């Protein structure tokens, strides 16, 4: 997201503006996903459910935090926007090399750097493509007038405005009067 300084020159947004959205939230979500994966892991019986869930959650959060931090470092260094996929590739390569070197030595660094570069760039590409569609979907879910959740027309529970409520009440009264007349005619015969 580009902003302008006082002279009107475009500059990239600073690191501190949206770091929560670009680093903290993905890291927390990755921890939650890692915990969920730990819940269904085949190793939960051997290591214990709490231990394996905590291990998966912390590992995925560390990987995501390193990747997102590296991506923001590359973005700030290159002075580009948040939608540049080269930032993702460089950050994935760098963070994968560092974490792979710690985990598996020299060959681990090669493998992890390639995996992180491909997976991180693919995830950022998918986020760029799906972002507008998800925003449109979320806008279609909420009523702009009231700000409340807008239910689909096929949903059995509907929130009615005054006109629809009056029409419904008139239909119910008509139906009730028809039932009452039908009961009277059955009782007379």
Q: What's the CA gap between 87 and 6, in Å, rounded?
A: 27
- pLDDT tens digits for 125-157? 998 999 888 888 877 777 777 777 777 778 887
Q: What is the residue-averaged pLDDT of the chain?
A: 82
Q: What's the CA gap between 159 and 165, in Å, rounded?
A: 9
Mean pLDDT of 94-110: 89
- pLDDT tens digits for 112-126? 999 999 999 999 999
Mean pLDDT of 92-119: 91
Residue 185 is predicted with a pLDDT of 64
Residue 114 is predicted with a pLDDT of 94
Mean pLDDT of 165-171: 89
What spatial distance separates the first Cα and last Cα of the chain, rounded to whole Å? Answer: 79
Q: Which two tokens stand for residue 16?
A: 């501190």
Mean pLDDT of 8-17: 49
Residue 93 is predicted with a pLDDT of 92
48 Rama sector, left if φ>0, alpha if ψ -120 to 50, beta otherwise: left
Residue 45 is predicted with a pLDDT of 84
Domains of the chain, residue spans: 19-79, 81-154, 159-188
Contact 78, 84 (CB under 8 A): yes
């Amino acid at each position: 997201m580009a902003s302008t300084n006082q002279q009107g020159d475009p500059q990239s947004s600073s690191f501190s503006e949206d770091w929560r959205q670009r680093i903290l939230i993905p890291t927390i979500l990755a921890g939650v996903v890692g915990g969920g994966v730990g819940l269904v892991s085949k190793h939960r019986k051997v290591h214990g459910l709490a231990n394996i869930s905590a291990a998966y959650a912390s590992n995925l959060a560390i990987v995501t935090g390193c990747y997102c931090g590296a991506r923001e470092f590359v973005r700030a260094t290159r002075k580009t926007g948040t939608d540049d996929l080269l930032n993702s590739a460089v950050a994935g390569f760098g963070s994968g090399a560092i974490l792979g070197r710690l985990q598996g030595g020299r060959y681990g660094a090669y493998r992890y750097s390639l995996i992180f570069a491909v997976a991180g760039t693919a995830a950022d590409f998918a986020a760029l493509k799906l972002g507008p569609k998800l925003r449109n979907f979320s806008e279609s879910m909420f009523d702009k007038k009231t700000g409340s959740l807008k239910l689909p027309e096929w949903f059995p529970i509907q929130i009615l405005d005054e006109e629809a409520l009056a029409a419904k009440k008139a239909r119910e009264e008509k139906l009730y009067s028809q039932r009452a007349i039908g009961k009277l005619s059955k009782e007379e015969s």
